[in-house]
Amino acid sequence: MTLAVVDWGIGGLGFYRLFAARHPGVAVVYVSDTGFTPYGKVPRRELAARVDRVLRHVGEMHGAAHAVVACNAASTVLCDLKIVRDGMRVTGVIAPAVAALADAAPARIGVIGGRRTVVSGVYGRALRGAGHHVRQRIAQPLSAHVEAGRLDTPDVRGDVARILAPLRAVEVLVMACTHYPALAPLLAERCPAAALFDPAAATLAHVEREWPLADGGAPHRFLTTGDPEAMRRSARLAFGVGLPSVEAITI
């Protein structure tokens, strides 16, 4: 099989790194769509159309029949994707995360994410329904810091302190943006009593449980609609992932 991993930027590399460590022989095509407007700033219908177009590209050009949309903002529009109705198997990162958290004992949970993710209420509704006390914070600047490779500067520390100030008492902190695990040390400093929850692990468990992961021996490919060198730099600085090469594409 060939697995597509799609994100606006490099955040999905957190999932990719986990997946590749466990399934190095499964072919992966990673797409970073930084040549397009940041997904969190796009109207819902336009975002669904764009994600559809990206997934159709990796399906037709690279043979991917399974895809992980490793972006919380894009995961909020999965039910609108036409390509799912056409047969591609697609999962986002929200549903696996919510399912894993719903099975846990009731707790004080903090959720930090981009504006679209938080305003959609997808985490809050599901987690409150499972008996958790939930408080959410929009953490929009953090993904931009990570995308630029800024992990521990005064500006980053200031933004983290401001965003997490009301969440110091939470027992679980959900990193509802795939970029945020790159800032885990700073998040842990500000919420020292909280267990950090990364949806990437729950997503990997879902993929392993639901899909056949047959080794194909094909090399992993990295594509971007943006700047290949910027992607390689950001991947190295933020996630410690050395990308051998990045191909520029137009979608």
Three-state DSSP at 85 gives helix
Write the pLDDT tens digit of every residue in 197-248: 999 999 999 999 999 888 877 789 999 999 999 999 999 999 999 998 999 9
Mean pLDDT of 66-88: 94
Write the pLDDT tens digit of every residue in 24-59: 999 999 999 999 999 999 999 999 999 999 999 999
pLDDT recorded at residue 215: 82
DSSP 143-156: HHHHHTT-SSSHHH
What fold is seen in the domain 2-92+202-248? Rossmann fold (3.40.50)
Comma-separated ranges of CATH 3.40.50.1860 domains in the chain: 2-92+202-248, 94-199
The first and second tokens of residue 229, run together, are: 């060198």
The first and second tokens of residue 128, run together, are: 């409150």
Maximum CA extent, the chain: 48
The first and second tokens of residue 58, run together, are: 């990796």
Three-state DSSP at 217 gives coil
> Would you say domain 94-199 falls under CATH 3.40.50.1860?
yes
Q: From CA 251, how far away is CA 249, in angstroms rounded?
A: 7
Write the pLDDT tens digit of every residue in 149-185: 999 999 999 999 999 999 999 999 999 999 999 999 9
CA angle at 96 for the pair 91 and 101, rounded to the nearest 5°: 165
Active-site residues, by number, are 71, 177
Three-state DSSP at 218 gives coil
Going by C-beta distance under 8 Å and a sequence separation of 6 or more, which residues neighbour residue 215?
23, 25, 26
Is the separation of the CB atoms in 52 and 27 below 8 Å? Answer: no
CA terminus-to-terminus distance, the chain: 23
Mean pLDDT of 108-112: 97
Is the separation of the CB atoms in 173 and 142 below 8 Å? Answer: no
Q: pLDDT averaged over the chain?
A: 95
Sheet holding 133-138, edge to edge: 133-138, 108-113, 172-176, 195-197
Is the separation of the CB atoms in 59 and 52 below 8 Å? Answer: no
pLDDT recorded at residue 207: 97
The first and second tokens of residue 143, run together, are: 């993904």
Q: From CA 50, how far away is CA 97, in angstroms rounded?
A: 24
